[in-house]
Amino acid sequence: MTMRTSSNRVHSKIDSKCDVAIIGAGPAGSTCACLLAKKGFNVTVFDKKVFPRQKVCAGLITWKTADLIKRIFNISFEELCKRQIIKNSCRDYRVFYLKKEIGRGILDFPFHFVDRPSYDSLWMQHALSAGAQIHTGMGIKAIEPEKKTVVTDTGRHIKAKIIIGADGALSTVRKVMQKTGIEKQKWRKQLAMTIEIRQQCTENTLCPQFSSLHFGFVPWGYAWSFPGKSTHILGICSIPHKNKEPFKAGFEKFLKASGYYDYADTPRKGHPLPYGNFISTPSQNGIFLVGDACGLADPLLGEGIYYAHLSAQLAAHAIGQARPDYGRAEVFYNKMIRKKILREFKRIRLYRDLLFFDGRYRRYKGLRFFLRLFPKRLEAAIQGTGSFSNLLFPIH
C-alpha cells in the first residue's frame, strides 16, 4: 500500500539506506533518535519545519517529566533553567467554574513552563551529538510500507528497516497504518481542537502569577491560564464531536468572564490535540508510532511532552532489545505501551468522562467536592508521584 498514487512505482530508485527512519524531530523523534544512535543504529530523521521552530503549546513540565529527562539525558530542571529553556515556574494554582473559584492550592513541586523552540532544539542537538542524521525543512511526500521506503518532498527515496512516526497529531505515518475508514473515524471522534493566545505582559495587561483551569465555557473541555515572566498564555480545548456549541464563542466568553478585555486583538492560533484517542497497537509491519502520532496525550489535561519522551524511550528500548528480530520489537513495544501508559490513560479517560458528564448536568459539583477533600491526591496523580487509580481508594 502506498499513500499516494504518484509514488506507486514498480521500481523506485533508492537514494540512501538506514536502519531507522524517523519522521518528526520534536521531543519524541529526537529522543528516539538519540537513544537509538547511542545503541549503534544508523538513524535518519526528517522534519518539514526548519528549527528552531515555533510550536503552539503551553510547554508544561510536571515532576514526572523532569524526572524522566534526568534519567534519559542526565539533565536536571536546574540546568534547563540555567539555559533559559524553562521560562517560568509556578506553585500556586486555582480552579474555576465560570467566574466562581471552586478550588486552589500550592503544589509541592512547581509547574515549569518551557520555551518550546529552545526545548525542541536541545533534544535535536543531543540526537546529532549521538550520531543521528537530521534533515530539517524536508517533508515526507509518501511512505511505501511494504518496501520500508520513505519518499521525501524533494523526491529522495530512503529505505529503512524500521520507520518511526513522530510527526504529531496529524501524522502522515499513522495514516498509513489506519487502513480503514472506521479507524480514521474513531481517531477523529476523540481529537480535540484548541485555541491559544500569547499576550505580552505589560503594566496595562492582567497577568496573574498563578496557573488556573476554567470549566463551564465549553462542554467536554476546559480553558487554561498559565503565567509567564513576560508572556501570558491563555487557551481552550474541546472535543468537536461532543461540543454542539460554537467553540470560538466559548473562548471569547472565557476571556471576557476572566477580565481579559485587552486581548481582543491578540492573534489566535489553533491546533489539534489527542484527547483520549490513543492507539492500543502502535506498532505493526515495521512501523512504530510515538508521542502525539500515537495519541499519547493525557486524556484529561492534554499533557503531551512527558509521553513524547516516554514513548520514545520505550520504542528505542524495544528495538534495541529485539535487534535484529524487529517483529519481536513490535510485540515488546505494544506490550510496554499498554502497561506503562495506556492502562493509566484508560483510568484518566474514565474520570474525564465522569467529570464532564457531571459538569454538564450538575455544574461540576463532583469536582468541587473532590478539590475540597482530596486535593493532594489529584496533584500527585497529575505530577506522577501518584496514580489516578488511587484517587478514591489510595494504596499506602
pLDDT tens-place string over residues 188-231: 888 999 999 988 777 766 678 899 999 999 989 999 999 888 88
Cα angle 120-312-47, degrees, rounded to a multiple of 5: 45
Average pLDDT of span 93-97: 95
Whether pLDDT at 129 is above 60: yes
Q: Flag whether 288 is in a domain.
A: yes
DSSP β-ladder status, 133-136 and 43-47: parallel
Q: Cβ distance 145 to 178 under 8 Å? A: no
List residues bridging with 43 in a β-sheet: 20
CA–CA distance from 279 to each of 13, 266, 293, 357 (Å)?
33, 36, 9, 24
User: Looking at residue 267, what DSSP letter applies?
Assistant: P
List residues bridging with 163 in a β-sheet: 21, 287
333 contact partners, CB below 8 Å, separation of at least 6: 282, 283, 288, 314, 315, 318, 319
Average pLDDT of span 34-45: 97
pLDDT at 11: 36
Query: Could you tell me the end-to-end alpha-carbon distance of the chain, in angstroms, rounded to an integer?
Result: 51
CA–CA distance from 225 to each of 84, 211, 275 (Å)?
21, 6, 19
pLDDT digits (tens, 9 = 90+) for 357-371: 877 778 888 889 889
User: Looking at residue 49, what DSSP letter applies?
Assistant: S
pLDDT digits (tens, 9 = 90+) for 329-348: 999 999 999 999 999 999 99
Closest CA to 150 of 177, 173, 116: 173
pLDDT at 182: 60
The rounded distance, in Å, linking the Cα atoms of 214 and 105 is 15
Whether pLDDT at 38 is above 50: yes
Whether pLDDT at 15 is above 90: no
CATH number at residue 32: 3.50.50.60
Number of structural domains in the chain = 1
The rounded distance, in Å, linking the Cα atoms of 196 and 221 is 14
CB environment 312-325: b (16+ within 10 A), e (fewer) = bbbbbbbbeebbee
Q: Flag whether 158 is in a domain.
A: yes
Q: Flag whether 216 is in a domain.
A: no
Q: Flag whether 233 is in a domain.
A: no
Report the range of poorest mean pLDDT among 67-76, 120-129, 235-244, 373-382.
Answer: 235-244
pLDDT at 180: 61
DSSP reduced 3-state for 105: strand
Q: Flag whether 21 is in a domain.
A: yes
122 contact partners, CB below 8 Å, separation of at least 6: 83, 85
Q: Using the Cα atoms of residue 170, residue 176, residue 341 and residue 392 in order, give the sign of their dihedral.
A: positive
Domain range enclosing 297: 5-89+110-187+277-351
Q: Flag whether 209 is in a domain.
A: no
pLDDT at 120: 95
pLDDT digits (tens, 9 = 90+) for 246-288: 889 999 999 988 887 777 778 899 999 999 999 999 999 999 9
For the chain, the average pLDDT equals 89
pLDDT at 389: 82
For 228, the grid coordinates are: 509567564
pLDDT at 395: 54
Burial class (CB in 10 A: 0-12, 13-18, 19+), 154: exposed
